[in-house]
Amino acid sequence: MLLGGGLNFSAPRIDMARFPRSRQFSVFAYVVIFVLVLLAILGLYMVNKGAVNYKRIAPCTQAPPDSFCGIEEIDLAVPDELRTRILEIANTDAGKRVVIPQWKAGRTIDTQSAMRLCPDLFTWYKGLEGKISKIIGEKVYTTSPDLPTTCAVLVYEQEGDFIHWHYDVNYFNGRFFTLIIPCTFTDTCTEYTYYDKNDQLQSLKNVRGKSILFEGDKVFHMATKFCDRGGQKRTVISVQFSTDPTISWYNRILMRIKDIAYIG
């Protein structure tokens, strides 16, 4: 107990000198082996997930031209009254701003907040299953309302807000798709940019009536840096679909860790 009533929570000290030298070495060796095994498992997991393949969309050059492969701009707009409500919400301080230097900056209104502030958005999203399944050519399902990224709103609003080059990680047991529906159409320099099947850089403007449907673990993509043009924001709805939206227990843990880092 410290004087003044505070508690002293200092960690118990392990006096290594009490252990014989050989014992000290074996404790050290076990720790090193444990860390190496952990790194090896992580490495195998990443390889298995395709992290070393930087041209995952290239096989699309062989796919029939009218089939969905990797990414497509589709004809879809959010209904006007929903869009107005989303813009109202984006103009409050709802959601959390996360800044990871050199990697990501922006505000995310997660599924739970979006459902509370605009319940009709989730109902509209649930109604998209049929249309999206038809485009993909395989039955897809909306993902769980418990996941923060299932039906979220992304707001780019401060100079330099962006997301660096990445593949989305697929934690689901089936294929995983994201649909980005723009709610603002002014040029804020922030554009969905990606490498296409011919390894060419492409940028998509936020166009009224168009949304971006993509298989994020196959398409290398980013959101370019926001430039402040008199208080305009870039606000988009981001919703998820999967051919099997169940998640294994270990992927659920990894997903939680990622969501804490990315969404706060």
Interface residues with ligand AKG (CB under 6 A) are 154, 163, 168, 180, 192, 221, 223, 236, 238
CB of 239 to Fe ion, least distance (A): 13
* Residue 78 interacting entry, from Fe ion, ligand AKG, none, C-beta within 5 to 8 Å by type: none
Number of CB atoms found within 10 A of residue 244's CB: 13
Of 180 and 247, the one with the shorter C-beta distance to ligand AKG is: 180
Cβ 180 to ligand AKG, closest distance in Å? 5
Binding residues for Fe ion (CB under 5 A): 168, 216
Q: How far is the CB of 12 from ligand AKG (least distance, A)?
A: 43
Work out what residue 184 binds among ligand AKG, Fe ion, none; the CB cut-off runs from 5 to 8 Å by kind: none
Least distance between ligand AKG and beta carbon 80 (Å):
22
Q: Cβ closer to Fe ion: 218 or 233?
A: 218
**Nearest-approach distance from CB 70 to ligand AKG, in angstroms:** 14
Nearer to ligand AKG, 139 or 191 (CB): 191
Nearer of residues 139 and 264 to ligand AKG, judged by Cβ: 264
